[in-house]
Chain A
């Protein structure tokens, strides 16, 4: 048995469960850097003397790999336990940066695709799901709060990485001033920044791996007592994907993410376009960047606040809010968003908080439907909806906007078709959520269910 094995990290009787959220946050704050990748865009375009699209593909590739690796490796993560998964995630994420650094230093763009996109993307997928199942097992009474704390970290990671990366670039290239429009750092500074980030993130994630424990009794899945779903369900991942509930939830997540990306993707040019009159926008570039900051905060806080609230109001009602209220807010944004910046910013911030909330609440929704038997692996498979939405959302919005002009030269009315399309997308998700019912008993794992019942009975008798 190695130090990484699940059996080696079973908590002692007095181990505080309040050490598990910071362990999870150490991982999620690190991999959340991916949302700040755009700070390198201009410098990378200049360094490789290539197009913005070619560099944009690095980010897209990493998100696709996140979804694929979470789906494919979810069962391995569930069986290996959180420490081995976190170490694997740290190794991939760190290696991704190091390979990218070598690519920048030698002018080999394919190494950036391989490093950040593929190897780093696999680290993202493993890292994202690695603490989720463990958190749910430690906090069976508050699964929404627990996963909300961790997944909030994924939103928070970008808030740290953006200013940190700009500081590192300025440190290694004193001529680089991040606040100057179109500022470009040297290739050498880029390579050194990637190298530094790779080392720092690896160490930070390893601290999380050292802290994490599985609850007493969870060293071996076959003998562990699992929390069943709301109707007693204990369903394996391979069986979960055969249920309508899984696919309905897939549609819910896909629609919620697609609609959120519709705003996030175009945030800065969008606010300027909404308040453009006679070709001139009343919103400055600095104020537009401030709007992006407001959305980042709303995204992060929504993950924690709404997911925690779902423990009290229930998972289906909270998604009724994300999708139903979100739909109305989207409609208001399309029709009245240009009346004032306060109205525009308020509506967009609440919509983005629902986007974040949708991510953070979904593991608890899965726990309610399928139980904790293989909830991490099921979550991994569900994240393919994120990867699909990451491609579909920008395609829909960019496709519609391209037909009327270029972002940066549009007016509020030009955005209406795209926003109204997103209202339709949210309506589909809203209906899918309403159709979700408890999982039919035919999908339960009979053996696991019977064993679990025996363990519960034995425990109850022993305490009489």
Chain B
């Protein structure tokens, strides 16, 4: 793995230049619909034990 400014085998991750807020927003954007889907599926799946 090549990095222009770095020598490690994995890419650099410098929190000083990538806002943690952006990372949190990006994960929320995909996490919220996924959590909705998971919840709906759990409700549906619970019928297996109650229905």
Which residues of A line the B interface, CB within 8 A? 11-19, 22-23, 25-26, 29, 137-141, 153, 156-164, 207, 211, 215-218, 224-225, 227, 284, 286-287, 289-294, 296-297, 341, 345, 455, 459-460, 462-463
Contacts and interface: CB of A to CB of B under 8 A. Distances in A.
Report the interface size class on chain B: 35 or more
Contacts of B29: 22, 26, 207
B37 A163 contact: yes
Across the A-B interface, the 9 shortest Cβ-Cβ residue pairs: A14-B17, A225-B2, A290-B48, A14-B14, A159-B37, A217-B2, A160-B37, A293-B45, A290-B47
Contacts of A211: 26
B49 A13 contact: no
Given A225-B1, A287-B51, A297-B45, A215 B37 contact: no
**Max chain B C-beta neighbours (<10 A), residue from A12, A18, A141:** A18
Contact of B38 (A159, A290, A341): A159
A289 B18 contact: no
A297 B47 contact: no
Interface string B20-51: 00110011011001101110111011111101
Given A224-B2, A345-B48, A25 B30 contact: yes
A352 B4 CA distance: 42
Contacts of B16: 14
A140 B12 CA distance: 12
Contact of B12 (A14, A160, A164, A294): A14
Given A290-B51, A297-B42, A297-B45, A216 B3 contact: yes
Given A14-B13, A161-B37, A284-B47, 5 more contacts: A14-B12, A16-B23, A287-B49, A291-B45, A293-B42
B46 A140 contact: no
Given A17-B11, A294-B45, A459 B40 contact: no
B9 to A, nearest CB: 6
Contacts of B26: 19, 22-23, 211
Interface of B: 1-7, 9-18, 22-23, 26-27, 29-30, 33-34, 36-38, 40-42, 44-49, 51
B17 A215 contact: no
A140 B8 CA distance: 11
Contact of A156 (B1, B12, B34, B44): B34
Nearest to B18: A16
Contacts of B47: 284, 286-287, 289-290, 293
A293 B41 contact: yes
Nearest to B20: A16
Given A137-B1, A138-B11, A225-B1, A19 B18 contact: yes
B42 A215 contact: no
Given A14-B14, A29-B30, A297 B6 contact: no
Given A289-B44, A290-B45, A19 B4 contact: no
9 contacts: A13-B14, A22-B27, A22-B30, A157-B37, A160-B34, A211-B26, A224-B2, A292-B44, A293-B47
Contacts of B36: 160, 163-164
Given A22-B26, A159-B40, A287-B48, A141 B5 contact: no
A86 to B, nearest CB: 14
A459 B49 contact: no
A29 B34 contact: yes
A270 to B, nearest CB: 13
A230 B6 CA distance: 23
B15 to A, nearest CB: 7
Given A11-B11, A19-B18, A26-B29, A215 B1 contact: yes
A286 B51 CA distance: 6
A203 B37 CA distance: 19
A220 B19 CA distance: 27
A50 B4 CA distance: 59
Contact of B2 (A18, A163, A218, A296): A218
A159 B40 CA distance: 8
**Max chain B C-beta neighbours (<10 A), residue from A156, A290, A345, A462:** A290
Contacts of A225: 1-2
Contacts of B33: 29, 160
A290 B14 contact: no
Contacts of A156: 34, 37-38
A200 B42 CA distance: 24
A216 B4 contact: yes
